[in-house]
Structure 1
Amino acid sequence: MVRNVIGSVLALAGATAAVWSPFRAWYDGRHGSEYRIQDLFGGITDVKADVIGSILLPFAFAAVITLAGVIFRSRLLVAFAGLTVLGFTVLWMVRVGQAEGGLTITGDGTGLGDGVANALGGGVLLLLASLVMSGRRAPRRTLPLGGPEPGRHTEPWPPADHTPPGGPVGPDSPTQPGHPTPDDPYGAPTRTMDVPPWDQDPGQQPPPSHRA
């Protein structure tokens, strides 16, 4: 949060410096707003430009991109705005150097002016702001107290529609080995044997009550 605030302040300061720079002297007392945008691609001329069609146009575009980057906390947008300001400033310096045979810096108002310094400083501030900003973070997912763990699906056991092999288990159903029953809640396997009555087994002695 603090990094985003500091980065936003630096970004807005850099965009302000870039937009203000064309209204300052760029070379030999000539303001940046007097250079036509097409002169940056076809060569510097003495024709003065309108404010809308001057070098102010790409800087104003960079300011809008900066504002969007601050609102959406996008480091890429702020960095793109800084590269735009620096790119057009360097391109202007190359064209003026070709037209003048070189660039000079003097203290008597000739040569490079403070408008170029404002533009370069604004572009550097925008790049610095993109490094300082932390950007947007993905929202954290929170679970309600006592809820299931992420990635795990829980359901009651046994399921409501589960029917063991051989039919349902209940008081009126046959005993199924390995399944819980009312008499055997632990589901222990059982074995049953059919024992014939004593009078049908020749080798079986009758009970004492039936002996002669």
Structure 2
Amino acid sequence: MFRTFVGSLLALIGAAGAVWSPFRAWYGGRHGSGIRVDDLFTGVGVTPDKAALLGSLFLPMGFAALLTLLGVLLRSRLALLLAGLLVLGVTVLWMVRQGQAAGSLTAGGDGLGYGVATAFGSGLLILLGAYLTHGRRRTRAYGEPVPYEEPVPYDDGRRYGEDPRSDDGRRYGSGYGGTGERGSGEQPPMPPYDPDGPDDPGTTRTLPTIGGSTVEGGSLDGTSGPPKT
């Protein structure tokens, strides 16, 4: 936290120096606010033509200061890095163009002034502030914990509406083919159907009567035939 504070402070000092540098002498007593920014991108070098404030070196320096302020507020190291490189890039490019126009660069009263040194130092301070500043930490968003649910006990499907006959009548009695006894797990085997035999060994079948006569071949055992009287 303290390191970030120091880095932000250095970056702001560098931004203030970058904005102030055009109002100082850059070369031969000429202020940077009178040097045209267009001369940096032409092949003829720096011309003696006077520039307006927003068309001079104040324009890139002011933009770098705004970028620095944005980087400090957002704690963006990238923004601070771009601002520092912009200040240094403009300063170095101006020196190249000035050297082309004058033939050589000299220091002193008729040479490089304090404005160049201020701009160069301001760019270094902004880069140092970008190095010391920590960026924002990204936090992962976790969802709410899912409440634990106990599993539903297995009940042979009877809970979910399956056919009650699937339990062989153990639950619902002998009406579905079971033995009718709770807890019984087996069914007695069904005897084969014999249309001519008795319904059950050891029992006597009683034939129905029609009009006082006994019917021997009715539909009681599932067969059909003419009644015998």
TM-score, normalised with respect to structure 2:
0.66
Q: Could you give the per-residue CA deviations for residues 28-62 of structure 1, whole angstroms, max 9, x where no partner exists?
A: 11111110111111221111111121100000001
1: CA distance, partners of 2:119 / 2:82: 15
Structure 2 residue matching 1:137: 3-state secondary structure = coil
Pairing of 1:60-209 with structure 2 (within 5 A): 60-106=62-108, 109-139=109-139, 154-158=148-152, 164-165=156-157, 167-168=158-159, 192-193=185-186
Matched position secondary structure for 1:26: strand
The structural deviation recorded for 1:194 is 5.3
Aligned pair count?
175
Distance (Å, rounded) in 2 between the aligned partners of 1:163 and 1:100: 98
- Which of these two proteins has the greater Rg computed from alpha carbons? 2
Q: Which residue of 1 aligns with 2:15?
A: 15
What is the SS of the residue equivalent to 2:26? Answer: strand
TM-superposed CA distance for 1:139, in Å, is 3.1
Identity %: 51
Per-residue CA deviations over 1:168-203 (Å, capped at 9, x if unaligned) read 39xxx7897xxxxxxxxxxxxx9834589xxxxxxx
Unaligned runs of 5+ in 2: 168-182, 190-229
Ranges in structure 1 where 5+ consecutive residues have no aligned partner: 177-189, 197-212
- Which TM-score applies when normalising by structure 1? 0.71
Q: For CA contacts below 8 A with separation 6 or more, give which structure has more relative contact order.
A: 1
Q: Which amino acid aligns with 1:53?
A: G
How far, CA to CA, are the matches of 1:118 and 1:89 in structure 2? 10
Tell me which moved more, 36-45 or 58-67. Answer: 36-45
RMSD of aligned C-alpha atoms? 3.2
Query: How far off is 1:141 after superposition?
Result: 5.0
